[in-house]
Amino acid sequence: MRLARDLSGRALAQALEALGYQITRQTGSHLRLTTQQQGEHHVTPLRVGTLAGILDEVAKHFKIERAALIQQLVGPR
Protein backbone atom coordinates (compact mmCIF):
# COMPACT_ATOMS: atom_id res chain seq x y z
CA MET A 1 0.00 0.00 0.00
CA ARG A 2 1.41 3.41 -0.95
CA LEU A 3 1.69 6.15 1.64
CA ALA A 4 0.74 9.76 1.07
CA ARG A 5 3.96 11.71 0.52
CA ASP A 6 2.41 14.93 1.80
CA LEU A 7 1.34 13.63 5.22
CA SER A 8 2.40 16.18 7.84
CA GLY A 9 3.71 15.29 11.28
CA ARG A 10 0.56 16.80 12.78
CA ALA A 11 -1.68 14.67 10.50
CA LEU A 12 0.29 11.55 11.44
CA ALA A 13 -0.09 12.44 15.12
CA GLN A 14 -3.86 12.71 14.66
CA ALA A 15 -4.00 9.35 12.87
CA LEU A 16 -1.92 7.68 15.62
CA GLU A 17 -4.36 8.92 18.28
CA ALA A 18 -6.43 5.85 17.35
CA LEU A 19 -3.62 3.76 18.88
CA GLY A 20 -3.41 5.87 22.02
CA TYR A 21 -0.50 8.10 20.95
CA GLN A 22 -0.51 11.63 22.32
CA ILE A 23 1.84 14.53 21.76
CA THR A 24 4.06 14.55 24.84
CA ARG A 25 6.64 17.10 23.73
CA GLN A 26 7.06 19.68 21.01
CA THR A 27 10.16 21.65 20.09
CA GLY A 28 9.47 23.95 17.18
CA SER A 29 7.78 21.81 14.55
CA HIS A 30 9.19 18.53 15.96
CA LEU A 31 6.67 16.41 17.85
CA ARG A 32 7.23 13.50 20.19
CA LEU A 33 4.35 11.05 20.43
CA THR A 34 3.91 8.53 23.25
CA THR A 35 1.51 5.68 23.90
CA GLN A 36 1.07 3.65 27.06
CA GLN A 37 -0.88 0.89 25.27
CA GLN A 38 1.00 -2.42 25.32
CA GLY A 39 3.81 -0.69 27.20
CA GLU A 40 5.33 2.74 26.75
CA HIS A 41 6.47 3.61 23.22
CA HIS A 42 7.74 6.88 21.70
CA VAL A 43 8.01 8.05 18.09
CA THR A 44 9.21 11.35 16.67
CA PRO A 45 7.87 12.14 13.19
CA LEU A 46 10.39 14.51 11.60
CA ARG A 47 9.81 14.49 7.85
CA VAL A 48 8.23 12.50 5.04
CA GLY A 49 11.36 10.38 4.53
CA THR A 50 11.02 8.95 8.03
CA LEU A 51 7.32 8.05 7.70
CA ALA A 52 7.93 4.46 6.61
CA GLY A 53 10.35 3.97 9.49
CA ILE A 54 7.90 5.39 12.00
CA LEU A 55 5.13 3.13 10.71
CA ASP A 56 7.49 0.14 10.90
CA GLU A 57 8.28 1.03 14.54
CA VAL A 58 4.61 1.42 15.46
CA ALA A 59 3.65 -1.82 13.69
CA LYS A 60 6.44 -3.68 15.51
CA HIS A 61 5.34 -2.23 18.86
CA PHE A 62 1.75 -3.39 18.31
CA LYS A 63 2.90 -6.69 16.72
CA ILE A 64 0.99 -6.16 13.46
CA GLU A 65 1.99 -5.90 9.81
CA ARG A 66 2.66 -2.40 8.46
CA ALA A 67 -0.08 -2.82 5.82
CA ALA A 68 -2.61 -3.65 8.56
CA LEU A 69 -1.48 -0.59 10.53
CA ILE A 70 -1.88 1.68 7.52
CA GLN A 71 -5.32 0.26 6.82
CA GLN A 72 -6.30 0.86 10.46
CA LEU A 73 -5.05 4.46 10.33
CA VAL A 74 -6.34 5.59 6.94
CA GLY A 75 -8.88 2.94 5.99
CA PRO A 76 -9.13 1.14 2.65
CA ARG A 77 -8.09 3.10 -0.42
Cβ proximity of 12 and 54 under 8 Å: yes
- Residue ranges and CATH numbers for the domains of the chain are 9-74 (3.30.920)
Cα(55)–Cα(69) distance, integer angstroms:
8
pLDDT of residue 63: 95
Predicted model pTM:
0.60
Cβ proximity of 2 and 71 under 8 Å: no
pLDDT digits (tens, 9 = 90+) for 25-50: 988 878 888 999 989 998 876 655 57
